[in-house]
């Protein structure tokens, strides 16, 4: 490799390694604007806007049109990736303690879609949030379960009996409390596949929960164990769509479920 790709990336990062230019990119991504408008919106001088705009134009990120600044097509594509870096920076601590290695690459490339979610911490708060999410489902409930909790099975049965279309995905590594298996697994089996549909994979590397227009995801810690004490959750459309696509991607590659092959404790 001649390193030209790395140099070109470094040049681009250099142009974006400036708070004012990043703010200008974000603003103009919403709508083209005059120099004076940008200056007023960002609280800087027109001279500062002009100087930074020139750099962005020279970098091919901005275009001048009818006295206004707008994103070039190249700039538009770059601007679409900025939420990725903003999200990673904002949640640096989270990603120092968790890994995306179990997430397929094409979803890691879209991780900017998680920018609108929130980090939920503390196992008690996480469980309460999950309970509210699952019980709130009115049309559909899709879950990838790495560790079932005692009340969850009954919630699935209740939601299914209320007409909610339930899809449950488990792995051979999914941990089930014995009382869940004894108490509700048979009830779920009787409802498959009319309302409750269940599939299984060899191993689930994350947990995903989707209830209508709400979603949550739990990622593994640096030891590779799915962290049940911390999750990303929210109602942002891009985040929910990311979770849905991830669930459907895994679902399409799963086979018939046999809860007896999971971990029952």
Q: Are residues 46 and 131 in the same domain?
A: no
Cα separation, 201 vs 171, in Å, equals: 5
Q: Which of 219, 221, 223, 154 is nearest to 185 (CA)?
A: 154
Question: Over 80: is that where the pLDDT of 3 sits?
Answer: no
Q: What is the pLDDT of residues 25-38, one digit of tens each?
A: 999 999 999 999 99
**Between 259 and 195, the higher pLDDT residue:** 259
Classify residue 142 as exposed, middle or buried by CB count within 10 Å of its CB (0-12, 13-18, 19+).
buried
Q: Are residues 238 and 122 in the same domain?
A: yes
- Chosen domain end from 27, 60, 83: 83
**Domain of 13: which CATH number?**
1.10.10.10
What integer is the mean pLDDT of 74-91?
86
pLDDT of residue 89: 85
Lowest mean pLDDT among 18-27, 185-194, 224-233, 234-243: 185-194
Q: Are residues 9 and 34 in the same domain?
A: yes
- Chosen domain end from 48, 83, 118: 83
Q: Are residues 12 and 72 in the same domain?
A: yes
Cα separation, 257 vs 176, in Å, equals: 14
Q: Are residues 76 and 161 in the same domain?
A: no
- Model confidence at 189, pLDDT cuts 50, 70, 90, reads low
Domain interval for residue 197: 91-264
Q: What is the pLDDT of residues 40-71, one digit of tens each?
A: 999 999 999 999 999 999 999 999 999 999 99
The percent of residues above 70 in pLDDT, for the chain, comes to 91
Q: Are residues 259 and 152 in the same domain?
A: yes
**Domain of 194: which CATH number?**
3.30.870.10
| Mean pLDDT score across all residues of the chain | 89
- Chosen domain end from 19, 48, 83: 83
Q: For residue 71, what are its two tokens?
A: 């994103």
Q: Are residues 74 and 140 in the same domain?
A: no
**162 touches 131 (CB < 8 A):** no
Q: What is the DSSP letter of 195?
A: T
What integer is the mean pLDDT of 144-150?
89
What integer is the mean pLDDT of 134-148?
95
Q: Are residues 144 and 238 in the same domain?
A: yes
Classify residue 221 as exposed, middle or buried by CB count within 10 Å of its CB (0-12, 13-18, 19+).
middle
Q: Show Cβ contacts of residue 61 under 8 Å, excluding neighbours closer than 6 positions.
A: 15, 25, 71, 72, 74, 75, 78
pLDDT of residue 112: 83
Q: Are residues 111 and 47 in the same domain?
A: no
Q: Are residues 222 and 151 in the same domain?
A: yes
Q: Which of 238, 233, 187 is nearest to 211 (CA)?
A: 233
3-state SS, residue 248: helix
Q: Are residues 75 and 140 in the same domain?
A: no
pLDDT of residue 194: 57
Number of domain units in the chain: 2
What integer is the mean pLDDT of 90-102?
90
CB atoms within 10 A of CB 265: 10
pLDDT of residue 1: 45
Q: For residue 11, what are its two tokens?
A: 């040049």
pLDDT of residue 251: 97
pLDDT of residue 7: 59
Give the position of tokens 């094409």: 106
**244 touches 155 (CB < 8 A):** no
pLDDT of residue 111: 85
pLDDT of residue 80: 86
Q: Are residues 98 and 67 in the same domain?
A: no
Question: Over 90: is that where the pLDDT of 87 sits?
Answer: no
């Amino acid at each position: 490799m001649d390193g030209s790709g790395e140099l070109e990336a470094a040049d681009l990062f250099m142009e974006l390694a400036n708070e004012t230019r990043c703010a200008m990119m974000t603003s103009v991504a919403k709508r083209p604007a005059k120099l004076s408008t940008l200056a007023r919106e960002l609280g800087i001088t027109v001279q500062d806007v002009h100087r930074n705009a020139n750099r962005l134009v020279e970098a091919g990120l901005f275009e001048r049109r009818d006295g206004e600044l707008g994103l070039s097509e190249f700039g538009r594509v770059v601007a679409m990736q900025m939420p990725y870096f903003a999200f990673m920076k904002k949640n640096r601590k989270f990603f120092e303690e968790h890994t995306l290695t179990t997430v397929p690459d094409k979803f890691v490339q879209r991780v900017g879609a998680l920018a609108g979610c929130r980090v939920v911490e503390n196992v008690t708060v996480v469980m309460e949030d999950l309970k509210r999410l699952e019980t709130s489902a009115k049309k559909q409930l899709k879950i990838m379960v790495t560790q079932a909790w005692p009340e969850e099975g009954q919630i699935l049965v209740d939601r299914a009996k209320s007409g909610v279309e339930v899809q449950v995905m488990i792995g051979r590594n999914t941990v089930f409390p014995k009382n869940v298996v004894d108490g509700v697994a048979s009830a779920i089996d009787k409802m498959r596949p009319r309302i409750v549909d269940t599939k299984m994979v060899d191993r689930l590397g994350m947990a995903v929960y989707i209830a209508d227009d709400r979603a949550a995801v739990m990622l593994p810690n640096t030891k590779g164990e799915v962290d049940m004490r911390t999750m990303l959750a929210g109602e942002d459309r891009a985040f929910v769509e990311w979770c849905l696509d991830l669930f459907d991607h895994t679902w399409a590659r799963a086979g018939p479920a046999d809860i007896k092959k999971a971990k029952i404790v």
